[in-house]
Structure 1
Amino acid sequence: MDGALWLDLVNPGREEEAAVERLLGLDIPTREEMNEIEISSRLYLENGGAFMTAILPAHTDGDDPEMEPVSFVLTSDRLVTVRYHEPRAFVSFPPRAERTALEVANAESVLVALLEAVVDRLADILERAARDIDAISRRIFRPSGDATRDNQKTLEEIGRKGDLTSNIRDSLLTLERLAGFLGQVTVQRKSSKEIRERVKTLSRDIRSLLDHAGFLAQKVTFLLDATLGMINIEQNAIIKIFSVAAVIFLPPTLIASIYGMNFEHMPELDWLLGYPFAIGLMIVSAILPYAYFKRRGWL
């Protein structure tokens, strides 16, 4: 542990924290401190160490990622990360760095490379979300001929994509603040030009992903409004059918009501053709409104 550039503390116990604190001469943030929302509690300098905390997702294969804070403690010669969940970037970064012989000459280069892997992972999540949102859009606006639109299922999918996009956007916002703070730290420490340029590139990448996440959030809102509009159109079509049926059957009902009255002096009661006359009159009174609606294009 003495010669390690990167110490990754996963669900550390008190003994592990104490050992690392003795090694660094710094206090490691506790889980409660990592969950503080004030920027001053997430980004600060103390005893020569830079403390930075960001919200990162884990279990991102689905639409309900686990969002937890991860703390990065950068000293002059070591990087310490403290986390209580498993973001995929922390699992995939070490073997990829070993496989590609990634240059990590000091703790700063390890931190920047790790943050680049985190941002790449967030970009992959947004790309997958964008593909899923496009698929939902096609289902809404270009349904196949034999497909039955399940509006409840569509609304649930839109809601899940909205939550996923919102979570990733929150993570990117914390990373944007972290990258800005890290840029100031590298300037103060007179880090190499390469490190400073990589931090600037990292900040630009995060901003572009934030713009993309904002666009996806707007598209999700649009699809939500569109789906609700489709539901209203379907409901209006059903109500229109009942309204037309009520209007068509209103005249026959009126005629039947008239001839159903029990008055003594009704001329048609003794008429031999009275019954077929009433039936024919009811049929004609139903056909006329139907023909009128059809001519006006209301059916």
Structure 2
Amino acid sequence: MDVLLIKDEKVEEHPAGELAALLGREDGLIWVDIPSCDVEALHALSEVFGFHPMAIRDCKERNRVPKVHAYPDHVFVVLHTPERGKRGHVHYIELDQFIGRNYLVTVHGPINPAVDPEVALRETRAVLARIQTGRLRPTTPFELSYAIVSTLIRQQEAYVETVTSDVWRLEQRVTGGDVGDPEEFLNELFRARHGLLAVRTMGALGGAIYGRMANLARVSPEGRRLVVDIADQFDRIRSLADGEREYLQGVMEFYQTFLTIKAALVGQAQNAEVKRLTEASYTQNEEIKKISAWAAIFFAPTFVGTVYGMNFDHMPELHWVVGYPLALALMVLSSTVLYRVFKRRGWL
């Protein structure tokens, strides 16, 4: 826990034990930055500052949505900023603030173990560096909070810029016809969409929170001006994310149209191939019919010739004078009858 006293364009570091005495002073701005809610931090929040138990619980636990609570002597605010994880996952980095009369307490909420703890301190470290180098001279808690939240919003804008570069790259792959594995490409499209939706939600909810803060009676006119500006910045983030999301939607619709046309062409090719195979099968069946018909026609005289060619002694037709002509006539008649039958059925 870092206890800082900002006065006369200087930053003084103090031990946590002097926090109660510092709160009674009127000659500076007190900034308490808490990287995590350990025992010392919880003692300061509950015993020294006397914050509401529900607000302290919100600092200990992860909050899924931003929020604001107005108390008689301070305002409690919960915000999020995005951090990109593996395979497009969006980590919500939480920043809690207690904005009081002469103090600002910033608490960095619990983060996913997969995220570097230094990421949570990114905004407050950047603002502290500006104060130490003299580039920023806050005199009120709202001015200090304004600087921190503005840095947080710039991080959201940088995240939108990163996702936008991904969207442009995906569009180039679609228009260039080089999408690679369609399943993986669809995953990339939806990961980009998820990132834009996440930062869009952060901007929209942040703008709603600061819009409510602007109507609080306990906020000074100067503080209200800063709060309104923060609300406008959040609205700009929401508009940026919406614009890029619509652009990405166009890319997705273009790819969907490409897949539909490609599927139609493949279907036409398959239909043509099926038609060709069907025609080939029909032609083959017709040839088989002809072969079968001619086989049956030639089988009849062969059968008759086979029967009369056995030459058994007791065949009644063996000594007929008209036996040979009759056998020939039977062969011709049977072949003719079969030919006419097959011809009538269209097999020949």
Which TM class, normalised by the smaller chain length?
0.7 to 0.9
CA distance in 2, matches of 1:222, 1:247: 37
SS in 2 for 1:181: helix
CA distance in 1, matches of 2:87, 2:127: 21
CA distance in 1, matches of 2:296, 2:160: 80
Q: Contact 1:53/1:178 (CA < 8 Å) preserved in 2?
A: no
SS in 1 for 2:232: helix
CA distance in 2, matches of 1:148, 1:170: 29
- Cα 1:157–1:37 shift into 2, 3 Å: closer
Deviation at 1:180, TM superposition (A): 1.7
Q: Aligned residue for 1:293?
A: none
CA distance in 1, matches of 2:41, 2:200: 33
Q: Aligned residue for 1:263?
A: 292
Q: Aligned residue for 1:282?
A: none
Q: Aligned residue for 2:88?
A: 63
SS in 1 for 2:56: coil
Q: Aligned residue for 2:301?
A: none
CA distance in 2, matches of 1:129, 1:78: 36
Deviation at 1:201, TM superposition (A): 2.4
Max Rg structure: 2
CA distance in 2, matches of 1:159, 1:242: 31
Q: Contact 1:155/1:227 (CA < 8 Å) preserved in 2?
A: no
Q: Aligned residue for 2:198?
A: 167
Cα distance per residue 1:235-286 (max 9 Å; x no partner): 22222212112223433332221112353447999xxxxxxxxxxxxxxxxx
- Cα 1:34–1:73 shift into 2, 3 Å: farther
Q: Aligned residue for 2:148?
A: 114
Q: Aligned residue for 2:126?
A: 92
Q: Contact 2:138/2:144 (CA < 8 Å) preserved in 1?
A: yes
Letter in 1 for 2:236: S
Q: Select the structure with the greater relative contact order (CA < 8 A; seq sep ≥ 6).
A: 1
Letter in 2 for 1:263: S
Deviation at 1:166, TM superposition (A): 1.3
Aligned mate of 2:215, from 168, 180, 184: 184
Q: Contact 1:26/1:47 (CA < 8 Å) preserved in 2?
A: no
Deviation at 1:6, TM superposition (A): 1.6
- Cα 1:257–1:268 shift into 2, 3 Å: farther
SS in 2 for 1:238: helix
- Cα 1:188–1:32 shift into 2, 3 Å: closer
Letter in 1 for 2:182: N
Aligned mate of 2:107, from 71, 79, 82: 82
SS in 2 for 1:5: strand
Q: Contact 2:123/2:148 (CA < 8 Å) preserved in 1?
A: yes
Deviation at 1:37, TM superposition (A): 6.7
Q: Aligned residue for 2:76?
A: 51
- Cα 1:138–1:24 shift into 2, 3 Å: same
Deviation at 1:47, TM superposition (A): 3.5
Deviation at 1:78, TM superposition (A): 0.6
Residue ranges of structure 1 left out of the alignment (5+ in a row) = 270-299
Deviation at 1:71, TM superposition (A): 1.7
Q: Contact 2:33/2:107 (CA < 8 Å) preserved in 1?
A: yes
Q: Contact 2:160/2:241 (CA < 8 Å) preserved in 1?
A: yes
Aligned mate of 1:6, from 31, 34, 37: 31
With normalisation by structure 2, the TM-score equals 0.66
Residue ranges of structure 2 left out of the alignment (5+ in a row) = 4-18, 23-28, 112-118, 299-348
Q: Contact 2:46/2:56 (CA < 8 Å) preserved in 1?
A: no
Q: Contact 2:200/2:241 (CA < 8 Å) preserved in 1?
A: yes
Cα distance per residue 1:188-221 (max 9 Å; x no partner): 34343xx443332222222122112112222333
Q: Aligned residue for 2:57?
A: 30
Q: Contact 2:90/2:195 (CA < 8 Å) preserved in 1?
A: yes
Aligned residues: 261
With normalisation by structure 1, the TM-score equals 0.75
CA distance in 2, matches of 1:165, 1:174: 14
Q: Contact 1:79/1:107 (CA < 8 Å) preserved in 2?
A: yes
What percentage of aligned pairs have identical amino acids?
Answer: 11
SS in 2 for 1:129: helix
Letter in 2 for 1:188: R
Q: Contact 1:55/1:174 (CA < 8 Å) preserved in 2?
A: no
- Cα 1:241–1:160 shift into 2, 3 Å: same
Q: Contact 1:34/1:71 (CA < 8 Å) preserved in 2?
A: no
SS in 1 for 2:135: coil
Cα distance per residue 1:59-84 (max 9 Å; x no partner): 56973231144321111011112222
